[in-house]
Structure 1
Amino acid sequence: MSRGRDVAARGPLRVRAVGLRRRAGAWTFALRAWLSAATARPRAALAPLTDPVTAVVSPAAWALLVLLVPALVAGWALGWVELLLVGFALTALLLICLAFVLGAHRATAELDLSRQRVVVGERANGRLVLTNAGARRAPSALVELPVGRTVAGFDVPSLAPGAVHEELFAIPTRRRAILDLGPVRAVRADPFLLLRREHRLTEARLLHVHPRTVVIEGTAAGFLRDLEGLTVRKLADNDVSFHALREYVPGDDRRFVHWKSTARTGTLMVRQFEETRRSHLLVALSTRLDDYADDDELELAVSVAGSLGAQTLREGHTLSALTSVAHLRSDHATVLLDQLSGVDYDPGAPRLSETLRRLGRDVHGASVAVLLTGSLAEPADLRRARRQLAPDVRVIVVRSQVGADLALRPMGDLDLVTLGVLEELPTVMRRLAAP
């Protein structure tokens, strides 16, 4: 019996509703990105003029200013004492609020993280040290630490000259992400939150929340090693597996001239070789929204990509990794996992077959290709994706379907794996490595 959710069992209406909600979210994200890009240039041009004002004056304060000026003008012109009183009261309120945000910040801060990289589910521990570098006592203040889209606040007491205050914090990590930590800022604000003045104390830092991965050991880890040195039906001018002799053509390396045959035939002959297979893994991760039934399937696919990629690099083999829209750097396991921390759905991402047609042409010499997708990927597209790769490349498709039973079956000239939990990945690799 299946351990988890069967996509078909959810009902077509529910699946369609979930898909529409997720697609609407992706469209909203794409619209925001387009608007941000379209307005980036005018916002950058106006920033030197607007930022000093908008960073201090809140929308509520702007609303009061809009009321204040007409009240004073109308009260003076019409002789309405009530309007003049309202205008003077609002003016006094803003002046009182202004007094709260005046003054220089003399504090310095140091932001220290125990680790720059953590795995999903781990806590990132940190320390914030504030020092009063001024010659006078610093008043109590609010210090804020932006963490991604949220903000953590610390109430710092009044500090004597040279005094130090330390705050310890822990950041829970429930999902993969690349989090911007900071910049730490000291905040002065009035009790009515009409005016707010910030002073940057540190620069921003990055925290990478890596996907969960599993270590692939034993016969599973030997899956790629077993392919090392096997010959393929492709001729090369420089390799270790001798194939035949042929006549010399201009440009051939003279080191491979076979002199005995040359002397016997009177024609310059050179050696020709069969190309030997190298351990080169291609990992192609679909970031197309319509390939996944839910976000958990994408998380599982990313974890599989990280597990296979990190294992390949640890063993010293060649790795090529790509998503639906871009190549990933794959020269070091940490660099790969850093990039996977930020992988998300790509608006307008093509199908896997189109991805391999456009990006796969830049990958040469792969011996194994692992295509990672969700439970909604169409079998016809998987077959088309297979045709984009060389015939001598072994192709494995891993469909993420959280909670489903592990399944491995051939589908034409590729292997189709249904994976329900990440911990079963080593079992899959052992089965694939079996003769």
Structure 2
Amino acid sequence: MTTEALGQAVPVGDRRDRWAELAARVWGRVRRVLDVVRPAAWVLIAGAIVLWIAGASLGWWELTVAAVVLAVLLALCALFLIGRTAYDVTLDLTRTRVVVGERAVGALTLSNSGGRAILPSRVVLPVGAGRGEFQVSRLAPGASAEELFAIPTVRRAVVAVGPVSVVRGDPLGLFERVHRREEPVDLFVHPRTVLFEGQSLGFLRDLEGLPATDLSRDDVSFHALREYQPGDDLRHVHWKSTARTGSVMVRQYEETRRSHFVIGLSTHAGDYRDDEEFELAVSAAGSLGLRALRDSQRVEVRVQERSLPSGTGKQFLDSLSAVVHSRPRAGGIVELAGVVAATLPLASVVVLVCGSSVDANSLRAACARLPFGARALAVVAHSGAAPSLRRIADADVVTVGSLEQLPAALRKVLA
């Protein structure tokens, strides 16, 4: 073989790649054809083959006729797959964020932008684990059809709505051709929360805190000058202003407070008696976090295996919508408190939220692990229980049996 011939030869590796690419392309087309065949059709196809072979081998024309009838039936049903399904699909949810118990309302619009009519089709809209189905009649060129739907929400979750699928099939359900037309949309089902008024939880005076509206006689943030009053510290007299005005003037300070608010929400299944308690705990954590964000505090939220985004109220509630039970090896409330202490050592207030399966000893151990100097508060979700307040070590422990009891219980803590 000459040098030119060797140069033109195709390497063995390239030939294998080409054959593999060709085989994958052929298999892809064959798979698309096989995907339209439903299980019932496979049964009829197998039955027709068996009847044909039995009729030919046994000489029973009745079996052969039955095989022909099945074959004709399959062919007629396959004809229903012919036709266009080139809809322009628009999925519109009025709100992508709702609270548990509310209904999410949306609209599905299908338009025929082509030059030929589209035969009747069936449109499938998956919603989480379920799905809704709509029958769309024949659409003339330029026509459109709109279907309204409502999604009931019974529990907190992030529900995928879509993708929209246009299904063309036969009346017997033997063949079905599916075309997906729209990307899924996430529906956030937020936990129930409750608003409460009153003093904010646990602002602590601190050198690097946020200024508050409370004025103080002794702090680190200078605010203004005022006339001397009996009892004022003479160290704060501003002598230059006193000499200029002829009255004794003292410095007035603005009280500063540290506002690093941390919520530790236990997702350990063993800390709760049932799912109802877990949902109550998530709602309590959501209510506390929203109040802290409204008070312009820095909010950090931890669960066993990760931190939850909590920069804004919407972001915080979205993250709570996706909270589920953690893996057993992640540990319970005591281990969660250790994670909080290790990752957030400068927290000023730490609220631990758990269920009624956590005993007093575990709460004591958890509070002992919290960052030094932080105010500790534990909220125990106990479905159906009367609200109560107790003291365990240096922590206030609030037990609530329903979400509506939370504001009154917190007022007792702040009293």
Q: Give TM-score scaled by structure 2 length.
A: 0.77
Whether contact under 8 Å (1:326, 1:359) holds in the other structure is: no
Relative contact order, CA 8 A, sep 6+: which one is greater?
A: 1
After TM superposition, list the pairs within 5 Å mapping 1:63-142 onto structure 2. Answer: 63-142=43-122
Cross-structure match for 2:250 = none
Whether contact under 8 Å (2:125, 2:165) holds in the other structure is: yes
Query: Does the alignment pair 1:342 with 2:322?
Result: yes
2:146 to 166, 180, 191: 166
Cross-structure match for 1:356 = 337
Cross-structure match for 1:424 = 405
After TM superposition, list the pairs within 5 Å mapping 1:10-409 onto structure 2. Answer: 52=32, 55-219=35-199, 222-224=200-202, 226-229=203-206, 278-348=258-328, 349-358=330-339, 360-409=341-390
Aligned residue pairs, count: 345
Residue 361 (structure 1) shift: 1.3
Whether contact under 8 Å (1:178, 1:206) holds in the other structure is: yes
How many Å separate the matches in 2 of 1:51 and 1:208? 35
Q: Secondary structure at the match of 2:88?
A: strand
How many Å separate the matches in 1 of 2:274 and 2:76? 52
**Paired amino acid for 2:375:** R
Whether contact under 8 Å (1:288, 1:351) holds in the other structure is: yes
Which ranges of structure 1 fall in alignment gaps of 5 or more residues? 1-46, 233-239, 243-275
Whether contact under 8 Å (2:271, 2:333) holds in the other structure is: no
Whether contact under 8 Å (1:101, 1:195) holds in the other structure is: yes
Rg: which structure is higher? 2
Residue 49 (structure 1) shift: 7.4
Residue 406 (structure 1) shift: 0.6
**Paired amino acid for 1:92:** V
- Are the structure 2 counterparts of residues 277 and 190 from structure 1 closer, same or farther at C-alpha, using a change threshold of 3 Å? same
How many Å separate the matches in 2 of 1:61 and 1:149? 26
Identical aligned residues as a percent:
43
**Paired amino acid for 1:151:** R
Residue 78 (structure 1) shift: 4.2
Which ranges of structure 2 fall in alignment gaps of 5 or more residues? 1-26, 210-218, 222-255
Query: Does the alignment pair 1:415 with 2:396?
Result: yes
Whether contact under 8 Å (1:366, 1:393) holds in the other structure is: yes
How many Å separate the matches in 1 of 2:28 and 2:337? 45
Whether contact under 8 Å (1:231, 1:241) holds in the other structure is: no
How many Å separate the matches in 2 of 1:69 and 1:228? 86
- Are the structure 2 counterparts of residues 380 and 56 from structure 1 closer, same or farther at C-alpha, using a change threshold of 3 Å? farther
Q: Secondary structure at the match of 1:316?
A: coil
**Paired amino acid for 1:351:** G
**Paired amino acid for 1:58:** R
- Cα deviation digits, residues 107-127 of structure 1 (max 9, x gap): 211111111111111111111
